[in-house]
Structure 1
């Protein structure tokens, strides 16, 4: 089985609709796809319908924005109950509101030096999209200010620039609790991605493991090869699930569907731990 558990649609910062994403996954031979848009489950229903039609399995999830000791942490929550009145979904709604306010402030700062407006950014995002820096980057590219998202993130939109606005989000320790409370499973996304900024030190990782973290995304292009072996050994010593994923964003990133995958035994371990939203087999 070819299992890719970390992808994004236009409901966050991908460039495809959930149906387009599922169809491409099926075309590329993916057997099981995980949809994990940032801080939203808005694409779940469309993806489920497309997956049934395409005959591939779908793991419904979400990438949750967190921060621990001032360091950004991305937590993948899988197969949780998405009831609108759950504590998890209430926190996610608040996070989305905070992200929207932050985005508006960043655009205001950028507009002092560049020909870019809020409407330019909104034009790059679809309806119900969780808006963030990638959409600002796309607006900068569209305006001819930078040549690509990667250049925007390395320069104008980096945390070192005055345009950057930090976002206040929940602790991954609390997020782990909320996902578990909703019957889901948690995986630490690309934990050694040093090119994205500061990575969580060993003490922070231990805090997450003690809080009940279920797994670590080891095989990811942003985890350096030497770090992957260390993470694999850490997972083995604590009985954690090891996943591998593409973190595919369509045309938004160079990542390719299925470039890293999850072993079948680890996938079944993930399913065994979940008691919330069901896995949708192909």
Structure 2
């Protein structure tokens, strides 16, 4: 669907609220984005669109453009892959069924991990639930917050580096689709799929990237604090060769991470390309 340019200025397309693993409600996330000088912001909570309405109202009241988004969980073998999904239809049957399944797995996993941790540390399931807000699915970040609240660790970073680390005895894997299926679901829902922070310790295999591109992958989030220089350069070269969308974002989580809104941004030209491709829902202009 075509969109007329209605904005200029910094755009941050990766922010989280308390509807997933952020620490602030959607309206406060948009207020934080505005305080940091952003003109366009996306809410991309994990596997849910439940914060869109509140975020859209808050963003537009502040004169900002709101981009409906989601961070869809995927997995390639042992590696977690996150797919930013912009402008999807939130009522698309296939995508909704998948996100429902992922959220159910996230809750089951959290309960099993909590039971395992409780054998060695003074923490109960009620301590973990107390760290969530209405509508949010309990996940590892909430376990981390409960560990902090109980004085067992100093912060989320320590929790994820130790007790909640994937190599530890307490860890339980999350169900998630393979990356190609995830791309197909987002495209099928009219959305624009971008791989989040794709250039960490190891790139996805070339064969997987090619299959994702064939399925409709639109681009990569290359300006992100977790990306490393060498793999970022390789993906930037691929993006230039294939004329892919390249974004930059903060991955803001409120107090959950040190990331600051607008620390990385996306150009107007790339935002416009996302708007031009999205068919499932529309950006919300002030």
- TM-score calculated relative to the size of structure 1: 0.96
- Counterpart residue number, 2:282: 278
- Counterpart residue number, 2:158: 151
Q: CA deviation at 1:71?
A: 1.7
State the Cα RMSD in Å.
Answer: 1.2
Q: CA deviation at 1:226?
A: 2.7
- Counterpart residue number, 2:5: none
C-alpha contact (below 8 Å) 1:71/1:199 kept by paired residues: no
User: What secondary structure, in the 3-state scheme, does the structure 2 residue paired with 1:258 have?
Assistant: coil
- Counterpart residue number, 1:114: 121
- Counterpart residue number, 1:33: 41
User: CA separation in 2, counterparts of 1:131 and 1:238?
Assistant: 39
- Counterpart residue number, 1:11: 19
1:118-133 map, 5 Å: 118-133=125-140
User: CA separation in 2, counterparts of 1:249 and 1:46?
Assistant: 17
- Counterpart residue number, 1:170: 177
1:262-273 map, 5 Å: 262-273=266-277
Q: Which runs of 5+ in 2 are unaligned?
A: 1-8
C-alpha contact (below 8 Å) 2:203/2:231 kept by paired residues: no
Aligned length, in residue pairs: 278
C-alpha contact (below 8 Å) 2:19/2:50 kept by paired residues: yes
Which of structure 1's runs of 4+ aligned residues deviate more than 3 A? Answer: none
User: CA separation in 1, counterparts of 2:139 and 2:24?
Assistant: 16
User: CA separation in 1, counterparts of 2:232 and 2:285?
Assistant: 29
- Counterpart residue number, 2:103: 96
Q: CA deviation at 1:167?
A: 1.3
User: CA separation in 2, counterparts of 1:80 and 1:204?
Assistant: 23
Q: CA deviation at 1:204?
A: 2.2
